[in-house]
Amino acid sequence: MKIIIPFGKPGAGKGTLIEKITEKREDWKVLSIGGVLRKAVSEGTEIGAKAKTYMDAGKLVPDEVVVGCVKDALATIQAEEVTGIILDGFPRTVSQAVAMAELGLKPDKVLVIYVSDETVIQRLSSRVECSKCKAPYSLLENLYHPKKEGICDKCGAPLVQRDDDKPETVKARLAEYKEKTEPVLNVLKEMQIPIVYTTSDADESKIEQLLS
Ligand code: AP5
Ligand code: MG
């Protein structure tokens, strides 16, 4: 079973690339930490209560909460039915990278998406996502604009804005990324995990290469 980590700033296009990967590959599972945490917040669970204050402030959620979520999610994945796992949003601190290794997870590749801070701010102020399947879309007139205004192309559910996409929260998320997440890339390199640079615009043949 392969393990792939998309890596990049908030709004870099990690979720967009993941949608393209999984659209044609039902045997790939996505473990989205942000998604797991947002679900916990909306369901009002104990984990959600712990995570909410951090997420609302654009801060990273404490490592022990996140590592617990990763362990729980991995336990539900049936390894024999899965070709690959996409770890969306893990590891985001050096100590999470250490915990990843301790859990016996050895990623096959890190897919780094680079975008400027200006692009992040522009993209996140115009991002909407599906309230049901969580696919990301853009309000800008680009490739990622929904075919029908306000409706998910894939499942037809309404599109909504994410609570943490307010400009001041986006600035805080970028600052957390630079301070705590960017250094993780060097740790992953030191772990001899292959690092590949890409964009969220990757087409199917590029995606085949990325996953090989
Ligand atoms: P998470 O949900 O992972 O958010 P993030 O990393 O901030 O990333 P985003 O989902 O905002 O961006 P993306 O890269 O997926 O971009 P997208 O494809 O949507 O985490 C949220 C929070 O959870 C964190 O702040 C933290 O509190 C907590 N958390 C999560 N993991 C954690 C961890 N390990 N430890 C501690 N806390 C954790 O694209 C963005 C927009 O751009 C869309 O509108 C899209 O249509 C558009 N777009 C994409 N690509 C292009 C393109 N090529 N051209 C034009 N537009 C594009
Ligand atoms: Mg995302």
- Surrounding ion ligand 2 within 5 Å at CB are 14-15
Residues 6+ apart with CB under 8 A from 54: 60, 61, 62
127 is catalytic: yes
Q: How far apart are the CA of 66 and the centre of ligand 2, in A?
A: 16
Q: Which of the ligands is closest to the CA of residue 90?
A: 1
Q: How far apart are the CA of 15 and the centre of ligand 2, in A?
A: 4
173 is catalytic: yes
Per-residue pLDDT of the chain (212 residues; tens, 9 = 90+): 999 999 999 999 999 999 999 999 999 999 999 999 999 999 999 999 999 999 999 999 999 999 999 999 999 887 778 999 999 999 999 999 999 999 999 999 999 999 999 999 999 999 999 999 999 999 999 999 999 999 999 999 999 999 999 999 999 999 999 999 999 999 999 999 999 999 999 999 999 999 99
Ligand 1 atom nearest to CA at 142: 55
**Alpha-carbon dihedral angle through residues 79, 84, 85, 91, given to the nearest 10 degrees:** 120
C-beta of residue 59 within 8 angstroms of C-beta of residue 172: yes
Q: Per the confidence metrics, is the pTM higher than 0.85?
A: yes
